[in-house]
Amino acid sequence: MARISDLLSAGRTYSFEFFPPKSDQELLVLSRTLVELQPLGPSFVSVTYRGGAASRQRTHNLVSGMLHTTTLVPMAHLVCVAHTRLELAEILCSLRRSGVENVLALGGDPSPDAGAPRELNHAIELVELARAIGGFSIGVAAQPIGHPASPGLAHDRDRLAEKLALADFAITQFFFEPEEYLGLVADLHDRGIDKPILPGIMPVTALSSIPRMATMGAAVPPWMVERLEAAARDDEHDGVRRCGIELATELCKAVLDGGAPGLHFYTLNVSSATRDIYQALGLAPHLSAAGTVAT
């Protein structure tokens, strides 16, 4: 299995993110997506985790299954929420026993269960724990516009610099303006941190998803909303999707031209938008409609 830090040292990486299925129907959708995206040859894939025993097992099973039944290089997410330090250590040891070498260390959103344990309050403590156990390539999260709970952007950048001093790389929350990503990288450079920061990409393919984007971490800027709405007027059925793919492709080109070490796609467990952006960027072999390599 490859370590993501080694992959980044060798050149640009292109990666996808999935979430563990909660039902047989979601499992079917994800299985189809994995079949369709595997021919793109991603450098690695990541699997999200919300905390708690059920999510822990789903993430572990999916990561382990990818490792042993596909050619994909998986990375497991792990959060501080709803776990004691001992439980987190046990999870990390279990991942290593399964052969997993890559982990994304996250603080996690507050648990709705007021009585849920949480002995580690910040992601940097989880990075320290993973380092103490050993054997992992460790990533952390970065917020191009700052974490919503942070008292200010400078404070957020200081905390991120501290995390990255211990971790190997970062992956950003999705964003829509290239200057937000480039500003993040420049701020970290000014703090003496030049480790790889992978930009997170999530295309907007439906007008209905625009309000949800703000609650997920980044609001769609007004100029972009106008362009998407104009596309809907021109072609009500497919216009927004095509426009969203074009906008995401433009963003990818801008950050790559600005020196980004790769791209990380939030797939929402479906493949079509990622495949279209890949082809627009000239990253993928020619694919058939089914997602297989055309001969």
In this prediction, residues 192-221 reach a mean pLDDT of: 94
Confidence of residue 81 (pLDDT cuts 50, 70, 90): confident
Nearest to 34 by CA among 23, 45, 43: 45
Q: In 10 A of CB 283, how many CB atoms?
A: 15
Q: Which domain CATH number covers 261?
A: 3.20.20.220
Region 83-91: what's the mean pLDDT? 93
Asked if residue 293 is part of any domain, the answer here is no
State pLDDT tens for residues 15-29.
Answer: 999 988 888 888 888
Q: pLDDT tens, 232-288?
A: 998 877 999 999 999 999 999 999 999 999 999 999 888 899 999 999 999 866 444
Catalytic site residue 17? yes
Q: What is the Cα–Cα distance from 259 to 76, expressed in whole angstroms?
A: 26
Lowest mean pLDDT among 43-47, 56-60, 107-111, 216-220: 107-111
Residue 149 to residue 153: CA distance in whole angstroms:
10
Question: Nearest Cα to 92, choosing from 108, 103, 84?
Answer: 103
Q: pLDDT category, 1, cuts 50, 70, 90?
A: low
Residue 110 has pLDDT above 70, yes or no: no
Q: What is the pTM of this model?
A: 0.91
Which residues constitute the domain of residue 222?
4-281
pLDDT exceeds cutoff 50 at 44 = yes
pLDDT grade, residue 74 (50/70/90)?
very high
How much is the pLDDT for 287? 41
Does any domain span residue 205? yes
Q: Is 87 inside any structural domain?
A: yes
In a domain, 38, yes or no: yes
Query: Pick the residue with more confidence: 109 or 255?
Result: 255
204 lies in some domain: yes
Structurally, the chain folds into a number of domains equal to: 1
Over residues 149-171, mean pLDDT: 96
Instruction: Tell me what the pLDDT averaged over the chain comes to.
Output: 89
Mean pLDDT of the region 156-169: 97
Q: Flag whether 31 is in a domain.
A: yes
Is there a domain that residue 288 lies in?
no
CA distance 175 to 197: 13
Confidence of residue 289 (pLDDT cuts 50, 70, 90): very low
Mean pLDDT of 87-91: 94
pLDDT score of 294: 41
What confidence category does residue 290 fall into, taking pLDDT thresholds of 50, 70 and 90?
A: very low
* Residue 100 contacts residue 67 (beta carbons within 8 Å): yes
Please tell me the predicted confidence (pLDDT) of residue 160.
97
Q: Is 153 part of any domain?
A: yes
In what helix (H) or strand (E) does residue 229 lie, and over which residues does it extend?
helix 222-234
Q: Is residue 293 over pLDDT 80?
A: no
User: Exactly one of 17, 36, 101, 180 is catalytic; which is it?
Assistant: 17
